[in-house]
């Protein structure tokens, strides 16, 4: 929406809240809300190819998929066994993992276990678990998840399993016995298992009315969620992912992957969009995924696509894709570790497709195995993926070409499963095949979190990699952003974007610490730009050097404090840096580091001069 309209909407929402509370705390306010937070959270839309909040600020969504537990039967297609577990997970995700959003998985099989009968108990439990995240200040976008179409295609003694469609949907078709041949990776079933390919084909061609049934259940689900959340909670639901990793299964004779997207997939999204509108989701975008192989990085798996013929998507859709390094996962096609800039071109393709379609982008799944024979690559693969989300310029080139960074991409890592290693899943219902380890699904092991023996959530990956500085809300337009996390590969600290020698005082200030640099152009907002502050940036050890001023150990936020720290909404203890620049059209920069120990005024001043000269020379 136009910037003025966005600001007026924010003011109206804020004033409405003040008038209805008659001086009492708002019943819908989150713990740690500041004066502008309710208005900011009142909506999230797409404008000029960016996510924007109720104040018109540019928003970046970062978080995780919650969770692969939905694929399993042990909690009946829900991410959690209880609302208490959902709350524990949400608090940890915010405080330990730095996330402000989640892709929240749902199951068609459990939503409609009997044809034509939606299980409202399942919908109620799922909505209660969503609420646990929304009340922690975490935005969500639900996803009706599927892999290999359905677990009911697979035999009790099979090597593999699936998730998604209910048993009655499988029984409606006459599918061959599942068999994948020599398939060391479960994903090969997508194209090599005739049961999966034929069932997928039937869904996309609405055989036996399968697609119609799915759309009806999706519409009922969305209506239920809209009706059973408060307005403030529903505002935190930012959209819906209609279908995970779509693939034709089998192409019609002469049909290409691009033609399938145009003639089959896109009409499905149009139907889903209509169901969203009818269910009260008309102001929320559909997070639509192209053919899952459109950006495969193994040439023989790559298929033309990326919604090339969808035209301008605009604000009612988000370009939503996944990315896994199939070469690295294969253990064959990529020897060694990922390198600085490994994925900047892959993620640049995502930015370019979103820009071409006139909408925002989200990488709703990315990750790498944390166990097995390729797990040694995980620290570098994940660092390179986050690097590519932050900027399309690799570290060695960032300081000389920051304006080529492009938008900071939103993304959800796969995955956040607090039950990791503690499952009790009867694979394909087989009581003699009880899975307990890893993710309990097709030998995967990707969860960033687990519970220790005391029941406390702990990270399984380097906290410096996961809990990151990122611009969660920018009052204006981000020009460039980078973050050097100094994450580790074993005992080796990975520094891919060192401060260049041409900025010696900045390099002295940063030292061996982590740092982020945000460059943005203001838009006249009185509300601040926000950067998430990781736990590794305690206030006393945080130094900010900006054209707005310099601050070692920034003070608590006030409206007149240009550089300040505050808690993030939701009561999880997570924190944010607030940068207030109420001018318009002005270029601003802010370096944030935890490398300095009681820096002198002279050092801070010298670093500021260097950064000011750098910004003028490289950005203008």
According to the model, what pLDDT value does residue 29 have?
87
Mean pLDDT of 157-171: 98
Percent of the chain with pLDDT over 90: 95
Determine the Cα–Cα distance for residues 45 and 51; give it in Å rounded to an integer: 6
According to the model, what pLDDT value does residue 28 have?
64
According to the model, what pLDDT value does residue 99 have?
98
According to the model, what pLDDT value does residue 26 have?
38
Residue 13 pLDDT more than 50?
no
Percent of the chain with pLDDT over 70: 95
Query: What is the per-residue pLDDT across 106-123, written as a single tens digit (0 to 9) for each?
Result: 999 999 999 999 999 999
Residue 84 pLDDT more than 50?
yes
According to the model, what pLDDT value does residue 514 have?
98
Query: What is the per-residue pLDDT across 264-290, written as a single tens digit (0 to 9) for each?
Result: 999 999 999 999 999 999 999 999 999
Query: What is the per-residue pLDDT across 309-336, written as a single tens digit (0 to 9) for each?
Result: 999 999 999 999 999 999 999 999 999 9
Query: What is the per-residue pLDDT across 44-83, written as a single tens digit (0 to 9) for each?
Result: 999 999 999 999 999 999 999 999 999 999 999 999 999 9
Determine the Cα–Cα distance for residues 505 and 614; give it in Å rounded to an integer: 12
Our CA angle for 408, 380, 498, nearest 5°, is: 65
Average per-residue pLDDT for the chain: 95
- Residue listed under structure tokens 């390919």: 197
Determine the Cα–Cα distance for residues 195 and 175; give it in Å rounded to an integer: 5
In sequence order, the β-bridge partners of residue 391 are none
Determine the Cα–Cα distance for residues 573 and 95; give it in Å rounded to an integer: 6
Determine the Cα–Cα distance for residues 6 and 44; give it in Å rounded to an integer: 10
Domain regions of the chain by residue span: 51-467, 472-619
Determine the Cα–Cα distance for residues 273 and 254; give it in Å rounded to an integer: 29
Residue 10 pLDDT more than 60?
no
According to the model, what pLDDT value does residue 25 have?
33
Pairing relationship of beta strands 457-459 and 449-451 according to DSSP bridges: antiparallel
Per DSSP, helices labelled H in 49-179 are 83-95, 108-111, 120-134, 167-171
Three-state SS string over 238-275 comes to CCEECCCCCCCCCCCCCCCHHHHHHHHHHHHHHHHHHH
According to the model, what pLDDT value does residue 15 have?
37
CB neighbours of residue 88 within 10 Å: 18
Determine the Cα–Cα distance for residues 285 and 287; give it in Å rounded to an integer: 6
DSSP string covering 272-336:
HHHHHHHTT-TTS-EEE---TTTT-SSTTT--S-SSTTS---GGGEEEEEEEE-HHHHHSSS--S
Task: Answer whether 528's CB lies under 8 Å from 518's CB.
Answer: no
Task: Answer whether 550's CB lies under 8 Å from 608's CB.
Answer: yes
Cis omega before residue 485 (within 30°)?
A: no
Sequence-separated (6 or more) residues with CB below 8 Å from residue 201:
207, 248, 249, 250
Exposed/middle/buried for 349, CB within 10 Å: 0-12, 13-18, 19+? Answer: middle
Query: What is the per-residue pLDDT across 498-546, written as a single tens digit (0 to 9) for each?
Result: 999 999 999 999 999 999 999 999 999 999 999 999 999 999 999 999 9
Place 611 in a pLDDT band, splitting at 50, 70 and 90.
very high
Residue 465 pLDDT more than 90?
yes
Residue 221 pLDDT more than 70?
yes
What token pair was written down for 330? 């294969």
Task: Answer whether 119's CB lies under 8 Å from 111's CB.
Answer: yes
Task: Answer whether 416's CB lies under 8 Å from 89's CB.
Answer: yes
Range from 19-33, 40-54, 161-175, 496-510 carrying the lowest mean pLDDT: 19-33
Query: What is the per-residue pLDDT across 540-580, written as a single tens digit (0 to 9) for each?
Result: 999 999 999 999 999 999 999 999 999 999 999 999 999 99
What token pair was written down for 352? 């370019």
Query: What is the per-residue pLDDT across 409-418, written as a single tens digit (0 to 9) for each?
Result: 999 999 999 9
Residue 436 pLDDT more than 90?
yes
Three-state SS string over 342-370 comes to CCHHHHHHHHHHHHHHCCCEEEEEEECCC
Q: Domain 51-467 in CATH: superfamily?
A: Glycosidases (3.20.20.80)
Determine the Cα–Cα distance for residues 96 and 325; give it in Å rounded to an integer: 25
According to the model, what pLDDT value does residue 396 have?
84
Residue 1 pLDDT more than 50?
no
């Amino acid at each position: 929406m136009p910037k003025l309209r966005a600001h007026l909407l924010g003011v109206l929402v804020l004033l409405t809240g003040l008038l209805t509370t008659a001086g009492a705390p708002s019943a819908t306010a989150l713990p740690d809300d500041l004066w502008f937070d309710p208005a900011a959270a009142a909506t999230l839309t797409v404008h000029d190819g960016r996510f924007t909040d109720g104040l018109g600020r540019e928003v970046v969504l970062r978080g995780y998929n919650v969770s692969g537990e939905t694929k399993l039967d042990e909690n009946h297609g829900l991410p959690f066994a209880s609302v208490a577990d959902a709350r524990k997970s949400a608090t940890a995700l915010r405080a330990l993992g730095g996330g402000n959003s989640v892709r929240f998985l749902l199951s068609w099989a459990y939503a409609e276990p009997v044809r034509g009968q939606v299980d409202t108990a399942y919908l109620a439990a799922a909505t209660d678990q969503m609420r646990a995240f929304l009340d922690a200040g975490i935005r969500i976008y639900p996803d009706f998840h599927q892999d290999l179409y359905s677990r009911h295609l697979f035999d009790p003694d099979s090597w593999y399993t699936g998730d998604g469609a209910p048993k009655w949907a499988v029984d409606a078709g006459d599918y061959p016995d599942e068999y994948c041949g020599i398939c060391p990776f479960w994903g090969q079933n997508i194209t090599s298992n005739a049961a999966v390919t034929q069932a997928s084909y039937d869904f996309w061609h609405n055989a036996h009315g399968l697609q119609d049934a799915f759309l009806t259940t999706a519409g009922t689900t969305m209506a239920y969620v809209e009706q059973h959340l408060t307005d403030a909670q529903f505002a935190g639901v930012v959209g819906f992912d209609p279908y995970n990793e779509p693939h034709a299964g089998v192409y019609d004779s002469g049909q290409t992957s691009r033609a399938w997207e145009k003639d089959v997939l896109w009409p499905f999204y149009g139907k889903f969009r209509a169901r969203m509108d009818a269910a009260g989701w008309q102001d929320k975008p559909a997070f639509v995924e192209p053919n899952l192989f459109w950006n495969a990085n193994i040439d023989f798996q790559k298929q033309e696509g990326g919604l090339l013929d969808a035209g301008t998507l605009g604000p009612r859709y988000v370009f939503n894709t996944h990315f896994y390094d199939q070469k690295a996962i294969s253990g064959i096609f990529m020897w060694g570790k990922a390198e600085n800039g490994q994925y900047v071109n892959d993620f640049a393709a995502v930015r370019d497709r979103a820009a071409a379609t006139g909408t925002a982008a989200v990488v709703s799944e990315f990750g790498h195995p944390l166990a097995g024979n390729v797990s040694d690559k995980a620290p570098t693969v994940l660092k390179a993926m986050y690097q590519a989300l932050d900027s399309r310029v690799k570290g060695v080139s960032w300081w000389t070409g920051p304006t080529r960074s492009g938008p900071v991409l939103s993304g959800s890592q796969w995955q956040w499963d607090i039950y990791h290693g503690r499952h009790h899943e009867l694979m394909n219902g087989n009581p003699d095949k009880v899975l307990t380890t890893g993710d309990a699904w097709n030998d995967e092991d990707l969860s960033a979190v687990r519970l220790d023996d005391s029941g406390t959530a702990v990270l399984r990956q380097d906290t410096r990699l996961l809990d990151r500085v990122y611009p969660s809300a920018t009052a204006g337009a981000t020009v460039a952003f980078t973050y050097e996390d100094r994450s580790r590969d074993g005992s080796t600290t990975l520094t891919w974007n060192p401060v260049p020698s041409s900025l010696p005082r900045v390099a002295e200030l940063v030292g061996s610490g982590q740092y982020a640099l945000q460059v943005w152009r203001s838009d006249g907002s009185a509300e601040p730009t926000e950067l998430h502050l990781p736990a590794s940036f305690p206030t006393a050890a945080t130094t900010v050097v900006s054209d707005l001023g310099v601050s070692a150990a920034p003070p608590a936020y006030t409206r007149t404090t240009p550089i300040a720290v505050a808690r993030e909404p939701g009561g999880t203890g997570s924190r944010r840096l607030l940068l207030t620049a109420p001018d318009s059209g002005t270029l601003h920069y802010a370096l944030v580091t935890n490398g300095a120990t009681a820096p002198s005024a002279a050092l801070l001043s010298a670093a500021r001069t260097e950064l000011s000269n750098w910004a003028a020379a490289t950005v203008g």
